Structure formats: structure tokens, C-alpha cells
């Protein structure tokens, strides 16, 4: 995808609106517990500052109520919870929930991010109290060359996710150039990711450019053998990804919960393991498609199974098609670990998305660990496709040993599926 980047436009003295992804986890004391997304945005921000731009950063944080709109509305989950209460309790519960929602403005504020960004940049980063309100507008107007302003949480406005044209136009008023450097939200057609591009020259930052170059290059011109590793819970979540990858890869490894649907479709006994019965015919079709195209789908041959969804359950090692009743598959077994690792060693281009088991339980994390270590030691192009696999590789300490860890979860999946991402499509071509 040959998109213009920040290096293709003159930013000196210009107001530049940058969509970043500062949706970072914080503890109860507002301390940031994982700043990878902040660090990922630094090259773009530093380039703009070095080239004397006036930088306005915008991002979402979490899933807040729309506290900057005229009325705060409860979400579907909250409504369902209240509707389940006795009728006489619902009015009071609604009032309490609405009052609690007002706390989003402090709980999900980007102020701690602005403070941490100041430390990284070695200069003051200004923080707006609103998004398109008087405080933000005044501070943006006062920016000098080489200064940075962070707008408040975009999702405090309902108009952001609705891609409201007027809201997008208001945001565009902060810039003469628009830069998208938030790959993790590029699959959403929101006001800040797609809408603003209708009003400003739109280019990508270094982070999105890297995502497109490395992931796009792997899909289009891979060094072979090309291996994809898919895990996670459900086949239904990755139907499109599997179909697209079968057109491109040489070998496809399927692990995690989704593998049990394939095992059952092949006539295996999977006990109480996760299975999408309505997707078994699809699983058969995908296996047939792979065979027709001369591609190999590699499934587990043994599993670690437990008698409860717990780290402390009774667990056994069994053949993947012979899991007894009362037990559910929780991880790949030792023979499968060796099988998968050998496939990884032979590959020269690898894309991995999804853990091999319930890796949050230490006793069932060995499969994910073995695959992660093998991928990290592979000398070829190794890409971690965001989501749980990205978290796993970070936790295991292998992130700096792979070619690329994608910053997108859903965005990475849709990219691997071959779907055009709205936030990328909106950017100007070279």
C-alpha cells in the first residue's frame, strides 16, 4: 500500500493533527502499567517536533460513557443488568449508574498519558480539558512551533464512534495536515480515523507505515516456506483470515480452542472442550480447500486436558481425538509442541495470531511458550499479529527478538483477512 507518510509533506510551522493510540492500561492510582503504545508513537511525534510542527494529539481511552454530550446514556450491558432487577429497584439503580458514569471524566482521562509523554519528550506536553470545547481550542491556538497538545478522550463524545461529519470537521479544525499513527483503530471508520481525512491532507505516521510495510510485504512477497499460526477460542472469529491465508501460506498451524472444532469435525472425541458445532461443516470445507490447493493444515496430535477451567485442576495428557468426558482441552501436548516447533524452525516467514492454549494459567502456558520461543529464535521474518499473542510474547520477554509485533488486535486480523481498513483507505496515495 503506497500511502503518503509524514516525510512526504512539509510540516514546518504547520498545525498537525495526529491520531494516536494512547489506550493504555492504568492501575487504581492512575499509574500506566504498560506504555508500549506511548513508546510506539514517539518516532512520529519526535519527527514532527524536530521539524517545527505544532502538534495536536488525539486518542480514545477505554469505553467511556459519552460524558461530553448533553445526556449520559447507559450502555446495553448496564441496561440489561438493571432490567433484570425487580421493577421497584430499577429507578434507583438507573440513577446510581448514571451518577457513577460521570466518574469516567477522571477515570478515563488522558491526563496521565500527557504527563508520561512529557517525561519521554523532555518537554511540557499541554493537556486540554475537553475535545472540541473552549479549553482545547484556546490551547491549540496558542501552540508554538515544536509544542504538543493532547486533547481529552475522544470517546467522551458519542459523535466520535458515529463518525459524525460535524464532529470530524471540528477535529479537522485543529490541523492543516492530518496524520494517522493509530493502527489499532484503523479498522474503525470513526470521526478521528476516517472522517477527518475528508477535510485535510491525510498521511500515515511511522507506526502505521511500518505495519503496512512489514505485514503487507509478508502477505504479498513472503520468503518461503511461509507459515501462519492461528490460535484463540473460536473458528468463527477467524474464518476470513483462514480463507485468505490459505491462498498465500505454505503451512497453516491451528491451535488453541479453535482446534477442537476441527478435531470433532474429523470424528474425534473432544470431551468437554470448546467446540462450535455449527462450524464443523465449515471446518471440513477448510480442510478440503487446503488439500485441494496443496497446502498443509497442521493440527494438534495431543493435548493437556483439565477437569475444570482452573490452574489447579486435575490435568492429563491425551491424544487430541481421545479427550475423555469431564475433561476439556487446555493446551497443546508435548508431542504437538515438538511438531509445531519443527514447523516454525523450517519456516522463513511467520505470522502468528492467537495463543496455543489457556496461557493465562501457568500450568497450561507451556504450548504458547514453546511456540513463542521458537518464533523468537527463527532468523526469518517473524510477525506477531497483535491481540493475545502480542501480550504473550511481551510477557515472555521475546518481543525484541521478533521482526514485528503488531499494535493492532482487530485491525491486524482484518488486515490478514484482506479487508481494506477504513483508517488506511482514507490516507492519501503517493
How many Cα atoms are found within 13 Å in the side-chain-facing hemisphere of 333? 20
Cα–Cα separations (whole angstroms), residue 309 to 19, 280, 362: 40, 23, 12
| Catalytic positions | 37, 234, 387, 410
Q: Confirm if 273 and 306 have CB atoms less than 8 A apart.
A: no
**How far is the C-alpha of 341 from the C-alpha of 77, rounded, in Å?**
42
What phi, psi does 22 have (nearest 5°)? -105, 30
- Site of grid cell 470537521: 169
**How far is the C-alpha of 356 from the C-alpha of 349, rounded, in Å?**
19
Q: Confirm if 270 and 263 have CB atoms less than 8 A apart.
A: yes
Amino acid at each position: 500500500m503506497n500511502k503518503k507518510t509524514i516525510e512526504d509533506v512539509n510540516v514546518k510551522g504547520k498545525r498537525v493533527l495526529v491520531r494516536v493510540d494512547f489506550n493504555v492500561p492504568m492501575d487504581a492510582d492512575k499509574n500506566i502499567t504498560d506504555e508500549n503504545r506511548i513508546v510506539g508513537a514517539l518516532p512520529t511525534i519526535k519527527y514532527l517536533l524536530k521539524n517545527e510542527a505544532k502538534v495536536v494529539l488525539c486518542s480514545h481511552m477505554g469505553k467511556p460513557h459519552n460524558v461530553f454530550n448533553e445526556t449520559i446514556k447507559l450502555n446495553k450491558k448496564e441496561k440489561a443488568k438493571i432490567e433484570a432487577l425487580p421493577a421497584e429497584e430499577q429507578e434507583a439503580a438507573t440513577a446510581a449508574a448514571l451518577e457513577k458514569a460521570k466518574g469516567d471524566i477522571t477515570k478515563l482521562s488522558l491526563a496521565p498519558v500527557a504527563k508520561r509523554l512529557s517525561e519521554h519528550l523532555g518537554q511540557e506536553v499541554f493537556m486540554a480539558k475537553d475535545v472540541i470545547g473552549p479549553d482545547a481550542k484556546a490551547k491549540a491556538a496558542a501552540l508554538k512551533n515544536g509544542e504538543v497538545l493532547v486533547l481529552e478522550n475522544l470517546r467522551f463524545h458519542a459523535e466520535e464512534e458515529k463518525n459524525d461529519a460535524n464532529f470530524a470537521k471540528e477535529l479537522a479544525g485543529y490541523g492543516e495536515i492530518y496524520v494517522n499513527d493509530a493502527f489499532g483503530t484503523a479498522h474503525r471508520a470513526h470521526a478521528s480515523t476516517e472522517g477527518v481525512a475528508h477535510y485535510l491532507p491525510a498521511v500515515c505516521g511511522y507506526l502505521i507505515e511500518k505495519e503496512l510495510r512489514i505485514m503487507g510485504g509478508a502477505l504479498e512477497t513472503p520468503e518461503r516456506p511461509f507459515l501462519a499460526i492461528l490460535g484463540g477460542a473460536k473458528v468463527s472469529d477467524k474464518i476470513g483470515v483462514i480463507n485468505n491465508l490459505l491462498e498465500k501460506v505454505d503451512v497453516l498451524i491451528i491451535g488453541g480452542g479453535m482446534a477442537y472444532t476441527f478435531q470433532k469435525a474429523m470424528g474425534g472425541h473432544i470431551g468437554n472442550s470448546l467446540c462450535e458445532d455449527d462450524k464443523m461443516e465449515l471446518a471440513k470445507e477448510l480442510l478440503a480447500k487446503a488439500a485441494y490447493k496443496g497446502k498443509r493444515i497442521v493440527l494438534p496430535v495431543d493435548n493437556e486436558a483439565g477437569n475444570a477451567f482452573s490452574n489447579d485442576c486435575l490435568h492429563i495428557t491425551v491424544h487430541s481425538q481421545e479427550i475423555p468426558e469431564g475433561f476439556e482441552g487446555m493446551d497443546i501436548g508435548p508431542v504437538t509442541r515438538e511438531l509445531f516447533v519443527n514447523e516454525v524452525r523450517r519456516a522463513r516467514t511467520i505470522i502468528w495470531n492467537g495463543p496455543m492454549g489457556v496461557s493465562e494459567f501457568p500450568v497450561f502456558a507451556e504450548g504458547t511458550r514453546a511456540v513463542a520461543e521458537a518464533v523468537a529464535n527463527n532468523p526469518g521474518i517473524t510477525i506477531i499479529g497483535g491481540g493475545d499473542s502480542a501480550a504473550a510474547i511481551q510477557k515472555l520477554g521475546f518481543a525484541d527478538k521478533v521482526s514485528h509485533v503488531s499494535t493492532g488486535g482487530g485491525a491486524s486480523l482484518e488486515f490478514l483477512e484482506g479487508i481494506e481498513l477504513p483508517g488506511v483507505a482514507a490516507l492519501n496515495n503517493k
